[in-house]
Amino acid sequence: MGKTITIDPVTRIEGHAKITLQVDDHGEIASAQFHVTQFRGFEKFCEGRPFYEMPYLMERICGICPVSHLLASAKACDALLAVRVPPAAMKLRRVLNLAQIIQSHALSFFYLSSPDLLLGMDADPKDRNIFGVHRANPELARGGIRLRQFGQQVIETLAGKRIHPRWAVPGGVNEPLSLKNRDAILSAIPEMIQIAFQTLQFFKKNVESFREEIRTFAAFPTLFMGLVTADGRAGYYDGQIRFTDAHGQIVADSLAPADYPQYLGEAVEPFTFMKFPYYLPLGYPDGIYRVGPLARLNIIDRWETPLAQQEWVEFRALQRNAILSSFHYHYARLIEILYCIEHMQEFLEDPEILSTHVRSTASLNNLEGVGAAEAPRGTLIHHYRVDEQGRITWANLIIATNHNNLAMNRGILQAAQHFVRADKLTEGMLNRVEAVIRAFDPCLSCSTHADGHIPLHIQLRAPDGHLLDEVLRPS
């Protein structure tokens, strides 16, 4: 008779989850499931609220990436107004998005994953923290703290506070950037570029020691998806959807984010509150795809900032066609930090960013609006429908972490089959299975909105465990 190995909770991720590994009669791992056991329900309880509240309501989904929800929501509201956002406001929103990516990536790499990368997957769990990182590489620990602090400071400078800022509004932003604040941000950029660059060099020097993990951490062919600009660069704030395959070939291009129901399906499974999006033309689960840093670096044709472009060329040379190992999310994340800092500098050096015309006003012009942007973890889509009074009648959120759900589940199976020996479990084995999830950097508090879709199984048990009643609702 087979047995079940449970990793509960999965540590050093954003949110709460567990992993179960099913062992067959021969002691081999037969299946693996990533269970996200929390539920948020924002899609449901926003119904009836006025649309202009959405940016501030929706950003409460998350304390790590509120800015991403703020921007995607504000963009969906822009679409409801059919308003043209002033150029300065557009640039300010872009800078805010870049700052968000910097701080979130710094959190993921330095705080959550670098203990594994620096100390090794088999290190004592007591040491797998920022103090352990400091003991092994003080510069790296300080650099991580400084980068995250910088990203958060930029958010606070622009938007008033670090978490849940009320700044992006339908039609623009509610306050321009002052010359003093612009110069303060610019003055920190050389130091940030240096930290990002040095961390990249450190990572590249050490990545070869993870050859086995590279080969087995969700390393398989899938599609990749993300926003790209008309000339093939990464479209962090806007752009059209592109899908590429494992050979690096474009599968679909120039897809409007607003048309996502035509190419994205959403499946549900009974073991988790997280939905499973898939590429509709290939069906479920064959339409598996990945988003986020690795996907973005796989789908673009080029980058426009010099240092990131150089690093991207080197990165793409790792493997012919597309980079398939999800271990390289870490590498891609570091290159993105570098890019975001360089790109932020470009925006801030544009005099137009200091314009005081930062908001356009309009009445409700559309009863349906979609907003999409690249969040740190991938493409984020907010979709709202309103009544004639502007009250939300329906909302759908496709969260970056959701897109990767199929790949995460398949990835833990691949790693577990390679590393886990059911007859003798070790901490290092299980940590590797968790580390697959960490590579994707899922944000689970963002991504659990599968209201009304999940098959429900409720058991009422007496204190002695005796089953008193049971309700089973199929999906």
Partner 1 sequence: MTRALILACGNPLRGDDAVALHLARLLREQFAGPEVLVHTTQQWTPELAEPLSRCDLAIFLDASQRFSPGFIHCESITPYAGEGHAILTHSCNPALLLLLSSKLYNHLPKRAFLLTIGAQSFAFSFSLSSTVQNAIPQALSCVESILAGATYPPSVLHALSAS
Task: State the residues that interact with partner 1 by CB under 8 A.
Answer: 12, 14, 63-64, 107, 111, 125-132, 134, 138, 141-142, 145-146, 148-149, 152, 162-164
Tokens at residue 295, please? 């996907």
DSSP-H helix ranges across 217-290: none
Whose Cβ is closer to partner 1: residue 138's or residue 270's? 138
CA dihedral 40, 273, 265, 402 (to 10 degrees): 70
User: Of 296, 306, 293, whose CA–CA distance to 332 is shortest?
Assistant: 293
Contacts of 437 (CB under 8 A, 6+ apart): 10, 13, 17, 19, 34, 408, 411, 412
Whose Cβ is closer to partner 1: residue 152's or residue 414's? 152
Question: Cβ 247 to partner 1, closest distance in Å?
Answer: 38
Question: Cβ 14 to partner 1, closest distance in Å?
Answer: 8
User: Of 135, 141, 173, 138, whose CA–CA distance to 155 is shortest?
Assistant: 173
Question: Cβ 428 to partner 1, closest distance in Å?
Answer: 17
Whose Cβ is closer to partner 1: residue 145's or residue 189's? 145
Question: Cβ 63 to partner 1, closest distance in Å?
Answer: 8
Whose Cβ is closer to partner 1: residue 149's or residue 174's? 149
Assess contact for 435 and 213: CB atoms under 8 A.
yes
Helix axes 329-348, 427-440, angle to 10 degrees: 30
Whose Cβ is closer to partner 1: residue 127's or residue 304's? 127
User: Of 214, 239, 150, whose CA–CA distance to 187 is shortest?
Assistant: 150
Question: Cβ 438 to partner 1, closest distance in Å?
Answer: 13
Report the distance separating Cα 162 and Cα 68, nearest Å. Answer: 13
Whose Cβ is closer to partner 1: residue 142's or residue 418's? 142
Question: Cβ 330 to partner 1, closest distance in Å?
Answer: 18
Question: Cβ 9 to partner 1, closest distance in Å?
Answer: 11
Whose Cβ is closer to partner 1: residue 166's or residue 211's? 166
Helix axes 306-316, 329-348, angle to 10 degrees: 160
